[in-house]
Structure 1
Amino acid sequence: MDDDTERRLTDLEIKASYAEDLIDHLNAALVRQQQLIDGLLREVGHLRQQLPTDSAGTVRSLRDELPPHY
């Protein structure tokens, strides 16, 4: 191989290694975000279980309960 072809091949290998590293970082970020989403969904589920319901079984809306100063 001539020098130009060797240089181009080396440049492509470098670019491929940077791309692979970037993909690994993005994958790790995606995993962390999914774990956070899963945790938040569990927390919302727990909060929904704690909500008081009226006698009809429907969930009360806080917008319907105005504070005393209104």
Structure 2
Amino acid sequence: MSFDVLEKLEAKIQAAVDTISLLQMEVEELKEQNGRLGDENQQLKQQHDAWQERLKVLLGKIDQVEENV
């Protein structure tokens, strides 16, 4: 009877080890994805800043035209 208990315990431990291994792989994949998304986010922020600057310049030109009219 104690042998059955040990076999069940061994099976549960193996299942836990397998689950932990899968979760560790998932964590690594998510870290890589997070890094890629962080890079993409930085690029989008730079594009956003560039567009804001262009809009400021254009609005400044419109203000100059309105002042001259």
What TM-score results when the alignment is normalised by the length of structure 1?
Answer: 0.68
Larger Rg: 2
- The share of aligned pairs that are identical, in percent, is 12
1:16-38 Cα deviation digits (max 9, x unpaired): 10011011011111111111111
After superposition, where does 1:5-20 map in structure 2 within 5 Å? 5-20=5-20
What TM-score results when the alignment is normalised by the length of structure 2?
Answer: 0.69
Give RMSD over aligned pairs: 1.6
Unaligned 5+ residue runs, structure 2?
Answer: 61-69
Q: How many residues align?
A: 56
4+ residue runs over 6 A deviation = none
Structure having greater relative contact order (Cα 8 Å, sep ≥ 6)? 1
Greater helix share, 1 or 2? 2
Point out the more displaced range, 43-52 or 17-26: 43-52
Unaligned 5+ residue runs, structure 1?
Answer: 57-70
